[in-house]
Amino acid sequence: MKLIMLGAPGAGKGTQAKRVAEEYKIPHISTGDIFRANIKGGTELGMKAKTYMDAGQLVPDELVCDLVADRIQQDDCANGFVLDGFPRTIPQAEALDVALTKIGQKMDFAIDIDVPDENIITRMGGRRACLSCGATYHVVYNAPKVENVCDACGNALVIREDDKPETVKKRLDVYHEQTQPLIDYYTKAGILVSVDGTKNMDEVFADIKAVLGK
Ligand code: ADP
Ligand code: ADP
Ligand code: ZN
């Protein structure tokens, strides 16, 4: 099973991708998590990516395409994978197609988690992230057991630098301009499925499972 999670920042891609990965026993590949891990580790890639991320802009395609092409060829991806946050531009989608064609494969589904901009602003305001293990919480919709402490690993939760309201607005503009065209791209490819992302997390997951089947 090879799938892509599409959707605006805060639509619930990460939340659902983690559940899908667990249910279908496939790796969850989040380019945002990869960049944040690199920033934390002080790598050259992390330093390059940080400036763009903090400004709410996309990291240039050339910094992300090869990275994903390499990742999906690793052994743990043999039975499939779920991409979260990639592709985000048409050139990235084309690069993914090229990489897959080379290994005789193709994507099965692109799942668009549809959430209007108004809801996004509230969601992002309440998001709390664990930069150690990548878990994500929401102060109202998915609160950790102990305030500001990660249930999974016990480390402190933070508000992501790019989740401040001004940056969220910028990211939504970038989404509409550069990422939304992918809905058309994958509709034409015949693999787009849209789910209503305003439902609660369990309902959205049930809708996704209904699409993917067993
Ligand atoms: P969200 O979960 O809110 O959609 P991500 O964690 O996926 O955000 O991404 C955070 C930031 O990392 C993006 O705003 C962007 O700067 C950068 N980024 C992540 N994935 C990509 C990508 N595929 N192409 C370009 N930039 C990316
Ligand atoms: P994305 O990866 O698309 O940026 P996340 O999965 O990180 O989105 O979700 C953004 C925020 O909204 C998080 O705080 C998350 O806990 C919360 N969230 C995710 N799905 C839902 C939902 N269906 N209803 C309410 N809140 C949600
Ligand atoms: Zn954690």
Model pLDDT for residues 171-206, shown as the tens digit of each residue: 999 999 999 999 999 999 999 999 999 999 999 999
Q: How far is the CA of 177 from the centre of ligand 3 (A)?
A: 32
Output the pTM of the full model: 0.96
Question: Nearest to residue 128, comparing CAs of 152, 154, 163?
Answer: 163
Query: Ligand 2 within 6 A of 11 CB?
Result: yes
Query: How far apart are alpha carbons 67 and 40 in whole angstroms?
Result: 18
Q: Token pair 């496939």 is at which residue?
A: 26
Please answer whether residues 146 and 128 qualify as being in contact, where contact means their C-beta atoms are separated by less than 8 angstroms.
Answer: no
Choices 2.30.30.100, 3.40.50.300, 3.40.50.2300, 3.40.50.920: CATH for 2-116+167-212 = 3.40.50.300
Is any atom of ligand 1 closer than 6 Å to the C-beta of 64? yes
Q: What pLDDT is stored for residue 186 in this prediction?
A: 98
Q: What are phi and psi of 175, to 5 degrees?
A: -60, -50
pLDDT tens-place string over residues 82-96: 999 999 999 999 999
pLDDT at 113: 98
**Which protein residues have a CB closer than 5 Å to ligand 3 (ion)?**
130, 132-133, 135, 150, 152-153
Could you count the other beta carbons within 10 Å of the beta carbon of residue 203? 13
User: Best of 5, 13, 15 to mutate for ligand 2, by most ligand atoms within 8 A of CB?
Assistant: 15
Look at residue 195 and give its three-state secondary structure: strand
Q: Does the beta carbon of 35 sit less than 6 angstroms from any atom of ligand 1?
A: yes
Q: Is 134's C-beta closer than 6 angstroms to any atom of ligand 2?
A: no
User: Is the pLDDT reported for residue 214 higher than 80?
Assistant: no
User: Would you list the domain boundaries of the chain?
Assistant: 2-116+167-212
Q: How many beta carbons lie within 10 A of that of residue 206, not counting itself?
A: 12
Is the Cβ atom of 142 under 6 angstroms away from ligand 2? yes
Count CB-CB contacts under 10 A for residue 202: 9
pLDDT tens profile 94-149: 999 999 999 899 999 999 999 999 999 889 999 999 999 999 999 999 999 999 99
pLDDT score recorded for residue 66: 93
Q: Would you name the residues annotated as active-site residues?
A: 13, 88, 127, 160, 171
Q: Which ligand 2 atom is at minimum distance from the Cα of 199?
A: 23
